Amino acid sequence: MGEYHIKGGQRLSGQLSIYGAKNAVLPMLAAVVLNKGISVIHNCPRISDTFMVIKILKAIGADVKMEGTTITIDSTGADNYEVPEKYVREMRSSIIFLGSVLGRFGQVKISYPGGCELGARPIDLHLKGIRQLGANIVEEGGFIVAEAAKLKGARIDLDFPSVGATENIMLAAVLAEGRTIISNAAKEPEIVDMQNFLCAMGAKVSGAGKDTIVIDGVKNLHDVEYTVMPDRIVAGTYLTAAAITGGELLLTNVSPSHLHPITSKLAETGCEIKTEKTRVYLKAPKELKPIERLRTHPHPGFPTDMQPQLMALLSTAKGMSIVEETVFESRNKHISELIRMGANIVLLQDGMTSVVTGVKKLQGANVICRDLRGGAALILAGLAAEGKTVVTNSVFVERGYVDIEEDLRIIGADICYVK
């Protein structure tokens, strides 16, 4: 388990290019199982989650190679419908293979992903939707065994716009008979990117980004070459790093529209934001303003994956902010560690609402990273703190950021990675 060693106080400034989105490429790498052929995906982030999915694809029997940020998959010979338990236990988002392996083979055996540091992470909406497509699903001994001679299109009303459930149902519906309608679907940009990828493979999918997605089943798919969208959470994290250090930053290779829910909140703290076609510029104010009420919400609301980072920022604003996490019941592991750094945060009894009163300066400390975005938040706090901060358990951060210490050093941070 590596550590990030940070000497705070450097004002960040400069330019960074943003790489491909983790939460877009993972479902695409599951989707390639549906195509008995060659899929080439460019701009894949070299993060541990990507390498884990490559292991799963190989276990299913696909040939996979990654050169630079391009992954080439030949799933012609894929013949194994059992997704190895050790991989699912290690990366819960591999549940996304449920829909695509079932769609390809008519059967799938996959371990229950279980909870994680963010909470219980149930998959009831995934299973309910796939049962509505005609699958017979047995849950026993910690495994999900699903089979369907032929999946049939259905109308599926999601109780909650779950990203994973929307993706799994889309994948299972692509080769099903007839039309599937998903209402109250997740509207995240990664869902739109996945729709574009599926259509590039010959699937018939429309409506992504809105409440209702329509999938008309096709007999088979064809070879595809595709480039993944940029990572809006990595972009938001870097913009927040510039904001918390009183700096300025130009990001290239981004989609400003994807970033709007984040940049609008950064603007509320007094940051100057300028956008062009594929670029976003931020200049921090002399003094950060608090945000009266920051609530996370499914897209196009403020993304839960940016909540810890904004909390670190608001810990140094002049005044009091209320931060409400409404998506994950336990996305609060970073709070105790920020308090160790001198932040004034009170987590209310509901475990999801925090009262953040800004302090003049955070103090460097040894802090423990317990999840991906919480770890990023602790790094940001270290950049702004007085003195040295050591963030342990880098393995969490490496799941979603490519060499974060190198990017931050490029724009002036005094940070190094220690194995």
Region binding ligand EPZ by CB under 6 A among candidate stretches 19-27, 141-149, 176-184, 249-257: 19-27
48/26 Cα distance (integer angstroms)? 11
The one catalytic residue in 44, 116, 271, 416 is 116
Closest-approach residue to ligand EPZ (CB):
164
32/198 Cα distance (integer angstroms)? 9
The residue among 10 and 354 lying less far from ligand EPZ, judged by its C-beta, is: 354
For ligand EPZ, the binding residue among 12, 31, 47, 123 (CB under 6 A) is 123
- Residues 183-202, interacting with ligand EPZ (CB under 6 A): 186, 188
Nearest approach in angstroms of CB 15 to ligand EPZ is 24
The residue among 21 and 317 lying less far from ligand EPZ, judged by its C-beta, is: 21
The residue among 77 and 122 lying less far from ligand EPZ, judged by its C-beta, is: 122
199 is catalytic: no
131/127 Cα distance (integer angstroms)? 6
- Residues 28-87, interacting with ligand EPZ (CB under 6 A): none
162 touching ligand EPZ, by CB under 6 A: yes
Q: Which two tokens stand for residue 286?
A: 């002399």
24/230 Cα distance (integer angstroms)? 9
Q: Which two tokens stand for residue 179?
A: 């039309």
156 touching ligand EPZ, by CB under 6 A: no
126 touching ligand EPZ, by CB under 6 A: yes
Nearest approach in angstroms of CB 214 to ligand EPZ is 20
Nearest approach in angstroms of CB 122 to ligand EPZ is 4
For ligand EPZ, the binding residue among 217, 246, 364, 400 (CB under 6 A) is 400
- Residue 403 bridge partners (DSSP): none
The residue among 333 and 364 lying less far from ligand EPZ, judged by its C-beta, is: 333
For ligand EPZ, the binding residue among 41, 372, 383, 384 (CB under 6 A) is 372
Region binding ligand EPZ by CB under 6 A among candidate stretches 22-30, 202-210, 275-283, 376-384: 22-30
Region binding ligand EPZ by CB under 6 A among candidate stretches 62-70, 118-126, 134-142, 340-348: 118-126
Among the listed residues 10, 12, 5, the one whose alpha carbon sits nearest the alpha carbon of residue 239: 12
For ligand EPZ, the binding residue among 5, 46, 121, 222 (CB under 6 A) is 121
165 touching ligand EPZ, by CB under 6 A: yes
309/304 Cα distance (integer angstroms)? 10
> Is the N-terminal amide bond of 27 cis, ω within 30° of 0?
no
C-alpha triplet 254, 258, 263: angle, nearest 5°: 90
Nearest approach in angstroms of CB 400 to ligand EPZ is 5
156 and 181 in contact (C-beta within 8 Å)?
yes
Report CA torsion sign: 275, 190, 268, 333.
negative
For ligand EPZ, the binding residue among 51, 149, 160, 267 (CB under 6 A) is 160
Q: Which residues are annotated as catalytic?
A: 116
Residues of the shown chain interacting with ligand EPZ in the complex, contacts defined by CB under 6 A = 22-23, 26, 93, 119, 121-126, 160, 162-165, 186, 188, 304-305, 327-328, 372-373, 400
